[in-house]
Chains A and B, each alone.
Chain A
């Protein structure tokens, strides 16, 4: 009798404990979601999100017309553009995967981790702007702009992958003594498939990045895309975009890792060889004098006075441009994260409610595919032409691209759980949403860091984020300012990354898994 009482008491406390943990998790998620939304709405009162263009609908109509009536006057040059785009991506990603793999082996080291975090935090386009000053409009610039940040990303993701696959070998404890052999025989074979699939995904990213690099003048498809849009040659722009989508969609058919050596040799052969610039004098001058303000370059200055002068100069720059840049970058990111969250929830509900209509679902899936294949930068560029210069096009572009990507990943997650059918809205609210919500928030936090990176870079298009000040500094040949502002951008990015990673782990135990899958 006593035993039974004790048992029921235990059961009760267990139930209460579970109920408490469910509700507290739910409340935490709800509060956090509301916080994201509130921050986005609050910030939008202070931001410039107005439509400045005189006839946005007319522009949109003309562009859509162009997309449906694609025309190419010179197909050969279009093919060459595509070829260059792919070649730059192939070489850049290949260099970065080798470097990233080597870095991943010593990623435990604090310095390696710090350097990777720092280099990764600087967007590929910023790297391109830096190398433009050294190597000019050359293939070297394009390849380095991809290779450096990608190598650091590979290092981190590969390291995460090793961490996840801790293998137990109880009977052979002595093999752990040789770290290299243990890595070769135990860790690497288990993780290789994941690393390969991540490499394939990175090639796709590389092609997108390579295309965007054309916007700063490098010889990839983005170059002609920018010109076509600016000259309102929408039929040509449409043709370029369609060619780009076909290229992205076809990747899975031709990108076989065993064919990589062949592709690489073709890529090196195809790219104009005179473009592989290597000017050591330029490099030395750039890093020894160009990127430092004049106040610290005088003869006979002591180290202390250099530090003193530089910090004074830096503080002045920080107050005049840094604060405004950081403020605008964060505002844009917060609005983008909030709108991404809302449009994700809407998209998933839409997809769940049309599951029985085959055709509609195909259309929805293709739209998602197109949106997530289009780089944010290109979306923002086009929207800017339509809506005019404010934060609105940037917010729309960021949330369109990211919500399409998150919805795609969520949908795949639902399919894994065999949970696609919702018979009505309440069904969706009670059956589907709760199942994926923690994963959704975790994905959103993971994208938040990328949204911040992109928010900064969209300044190059004229939105007043950090990228705007950096781009202006480059245009004025004030490399000292550009360098200092890039430093600020990187630090901001690292801080937000730390925060978003913490939030991811807070809401799901799968934080790391999410990141390395994508």
Chain B
């Protein structure tokens, strides 16, 4: 099986502090990987690095969502496929939603429980709702790989599970940074634990328990 992502002794540092130290990691197609670790442990940086390895294959849901305020949820999700339509089609879609796109996006929005907000401007939504719009935009790209930087951190436990299931079911490979250790154990095959920029844990989820992960946060 070929490696989708591969890092060998990879290090990266900002002028005053190292962010990733000697990271070796390879991820194959079909894997579901959770990245856990304290804030500042290097999770986001790792995801950024991975994204640069497969930019065309990956849908990348970044932490600060990058939603366009002033556009409706529908158009924020539609944005994912902007490059696949002509400028004229995009203009018309602003005036009246393209029926085919609307249908697909409505299905996605139903799964994420935001279908009633589709035509509301995103700045009128709560943090959790905005987060689901960002997830919907990433899913709507229909890429084989999903890279998510805490995509469910603002959701309650039940919604978080629901959203994670949608993400995992619609992508062949998923690599998601998480804080919630229970979710990581429950939904992922493999867990990569980061501590101060180093890989402290890299094991199948089945061989780990919550105490192992708690060690990362001490």
Instruction: Report B's interface with A, CB cutoff 8 A.
Output: 51, 55, 59-62, 66, 68-71, 75, 78-80, 82-83, 85-87, 90-91, 94, 138
Contact = CB atoms under 8 A, between A and B. Distances in A.
A227 interface: no
Given A174-B83, A181-B82, A167 B71 contact: no
B82 A185 contact: yes
Contact of B90 (A168, A173, A185, A193): A185
A258 to B, nearest CB: 16
A189 B87 contact: no
Contacts, number: 63
A171 B138 contact: yes
Given A168-B66, A184-B90, A185-B71, 7 more contacts: A174-B83, A175-B79, A178-B83, A178-B87, A184-B91, A189-B68, A189-B75
Nearest to B55: A173
A109 interface: no
B71 to A, nearest CB: 4
A201 interface: no
Interface in A163-206: 167-175, 177-178, 180-182, 184-186, 189-190, 192-193
A173 B85 CA distance: 15
Interface of A: 167-175, 177-178, 180-182, 184-186, 189-190, 192-193
Contacts of B68: 167, 185-186, 189-190
A180 to B, nearest CB: 4
A171 B62 contact: yes
Identify whether the interface residues of A are mostly helix, strand, loop, or mixed: helix
A43 to B, nearest CB: 48
Nearest to A176: B83
A177 B83 contact: yes
Nearest to A191: B70
Contact of B71 (A178, A180, A189): A189
Contacts of A184: 87, 90-91, 94
Nearest to A178: B87
11 contacts: A170-B62, A171-B62, A178-B87, A181-B82, A182-B82, A184-B94, A185-B75, A185-B94, A189-B71, A189-B75, A190-B69
B205 to A, nearest CB: 26
Nearest to A169: B66
